[in-house]
């Protein structure tokens, strides 16, 4: 059972203040306050590096009810700046092999609030947009907290990708399949797992790696990973992606990687009002007509009105029409804005990994090298 019950507050930059109980690490936190509609998978959300710089509100009212597990981690540690929920639900004592969420939050150094009216908070974030905010368990005048929220740096002003990217390259998988370099902009573990499960030998490289350093690894294909923050400020990865595209290497961009590809090829991105975060977003694959229920975590999107003529929209959100997938007309370059690895969420978009790895296999199986031409583009389309 939880023993301490300390009041704590969330203040938003628009002047709203919500009261709850302090959970997790006893410390103040700040960040962009966003909500996710996932029902399960709270630990995957909290360890997803794309949430770096953000305080995450769960709309699901009960969080913690199946504990925490090492297998649910999307990176080596919790990445969010803070967490807000309606009820921190105690794990039943009899639950085998699991640890309590609150203890895990303390160990991971994540401050949070429970007991918050998350329906009212979510409605506010939906109507006014994602906002900067602070969490504090220190009794202070509301005005001070609101002013602190207004001083929180924006996502574009923080070196978030550098903070979460691997320091050094590492290898995963010894399979006989294609060699894939994953550019770690804040990669979720399950992206690598999906590649390894399909026989790939994966090398994960830091975001600072240049196109030349990546090509020196002789990859059959490159994955540009998900990651935190504003894609438009990432000059280094954008330049790397541009050079890789022109070299004809097959590339699959996921979420931040999708945005980087669009920017590298002459497109632009914009910030969504409150973003897409959840495990229940309908997306239509425009080339097959099928609709998938998908996992999302993005606050930015590719601007369809500014799309260069070489990029074709392949997937679209059925909630708000945003671009959710792209491919290049002639280069073997594909991307999706959402998360085919899911975790948490429905697994039905894993077909995108099949298509990518299948395209790499076919290209390598022909004349032994990758052509980079229409055949593989068609295979993934």
Ligand X SMILES: NC(=O)CC[C@H](N)C(=O)O
Residues contributing to the annotated binding site for L-glutamine? 50, 227, 229, 256, 259, 297, 299-300
Query: Could you say which of 44, 74, 200, 255 is catalytic?
Result: 255
- Nearest distance in Å: CB 263, ligand X: 12
Distance, first Cα to last Cα, the chain: 52
State yes or no: is 13 an active-site residue: no
Secondary structure class of 56 (helix, strand, coil): strand
CA distance 337 to 259: 7
Quick one: which of 47, 50, 59, 207 contacts ligand X (CB under 6 A)?
50
Instruction: Specify which residues 29 forms β-bridges with.
Output: 135
CA distance 184 to 205: 6
Using the minimum distance from each CB to ligand X, give the nearer residue, 78 or 363.
78
- Nearest distance in Å: CB 231, ligand X: 6
Stretch that binds ligand X, among 17-25, 61-69, 296-304, 311-319 (CB under 6 A): 296-304
- Nearest distance in Å: CB 92, ligand X: 32
Q: Concatenated DSSP letters for 226-246?
A: --SS-GGG-HHHHHHHHHHHH
Q: Can residue 340 be called a binding residue for ligand X (CB under 6 A)?
A: no
State yes or no: is 147 an active-site residue: no
Using the minimum distance from each CB to ligand X, give the nearer residue, 17 or 272.
272
Strands in 269-285's sheet, in edge-to-edge order, are 170-172, 201-206, 179-184, 221-224, 251-254, 333-336, 323-328, 311-317, 269-285, 291-302
Q: Can residue 229 be called a binding residue for ligand X (CB under 6 A)?
A: yes
Q: What is the dihedral of CA 366, 371, 374, 380, to 10 degrees?
A: 70
Quick one: which of 82, 133, 228, 237 contacts ligand X (CB under 6 A)?
228
Stretch that binds ligand X, among 144-152, 200-208, 211-219, 227-235 (CB under 6 A): 227-235
Tokens of 85: 């929920």
Element (H, E) at 361: helix 351-365
The whole-angstrom distance between residue 14's C-alpha and the CA centroid of its chain comes to 26
Binding positions are 50, 227, 229, 256, 259, 297, 299-300
Q: Number of residues in contact with ligand X, rule: CB under 6 A? A: 12
Angle at alpha carbon of residue 31, lines to 83 and 183, rounded to 5°: 90
State yes or no: is 341 an active-site residue: yes
- Nearest distance in Å: CB 81, ligand X: 14
Stretch that binds ligand X, among 104-112, 196-204, 220-228, 317-325 (CB under 6 A): 220-228
- Nearest distance in Å: CB 46, ligand X: 14
Binding stretches for ligand X (CB under 6 A): 50, 226-229, 231, 255-256, 297-300
Give me the active site residues, please. 255, 339, 341
């Amino acid at each position: 059972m939880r023993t301490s019950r300390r009041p704590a507050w969330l203040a938003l930059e628009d002047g709203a203040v919500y009261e709850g109980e302090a959970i997790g690490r006893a410390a103040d936190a700040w960040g962009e306050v966003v909500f996710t509609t996932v029902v399960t998978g709270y630990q995957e959300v909290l360890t997803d590096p794309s949430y770096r710089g953000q305080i995450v509100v769960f709309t699901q009212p009960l969080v913690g009810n199946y504990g925490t597990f090492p297998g649910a981690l999307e990176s080596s540690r919790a990445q969010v700046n803070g967490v807000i929920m309606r009820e921190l639900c105690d794990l039943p004592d009899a639950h085998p092999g699991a640890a309590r969420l609150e203890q895990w939050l303390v160990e991971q150094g994540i401050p949070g609030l429970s007991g918050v009216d998350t329906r009212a908070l979510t409605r506010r974030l939906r109507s006014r947009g994602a906002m900067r905010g602070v969490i504090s368990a220190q009794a202070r005048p509301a005005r001070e907290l609101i002013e602190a929220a207004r001083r929180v740096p924006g996502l574009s002003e923080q070196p978030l990708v550098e903070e979460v990217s691997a320091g050094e390259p590492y290898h995963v998988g010894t399979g006989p399949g294609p060699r894939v370099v994953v550019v770690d902009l804040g990669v979720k573990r399950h992206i690598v797992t999906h590649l390894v499960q399909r026989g790939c030998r994966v090398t994960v490289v830091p975001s600072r790696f240049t196109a030349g350093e990546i090509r020196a690894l002789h990859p059959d294909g490159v994955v540009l990973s998900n990651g935190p923050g504003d894609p438009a400020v990432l000059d280094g990865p954008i330049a790397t992606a541009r050079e890789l595209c022109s070299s004809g290497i097959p590339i699959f961009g996921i979420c931040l990687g999708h945005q980087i590809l669009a920017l590298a090829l002459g497109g632009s991105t914009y910030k969504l009002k409150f973003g897409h975060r959840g495990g229940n977003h309908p997306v239509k694959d425009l080339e097959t007509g099928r609709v998938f229920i998908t996992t999302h975590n993005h606050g930015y999107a590719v601007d369809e009105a500014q799309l260069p003529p070489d990029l074709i929209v392949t997937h679209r959100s059925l909630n708000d029409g945003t671009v959710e997938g792209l491919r290049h007309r002639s280069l073997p370059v594909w991307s999706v804005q959402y998360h085919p690895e899911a975790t948490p969420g429905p697994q039905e978009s894993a077909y995108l990994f099949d298509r990518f790895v299948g395209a790499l296999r076919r290209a390598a199986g022909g004349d032994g090298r990758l052509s980079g031409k229409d055949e593989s583009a068609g295979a993934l389309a």
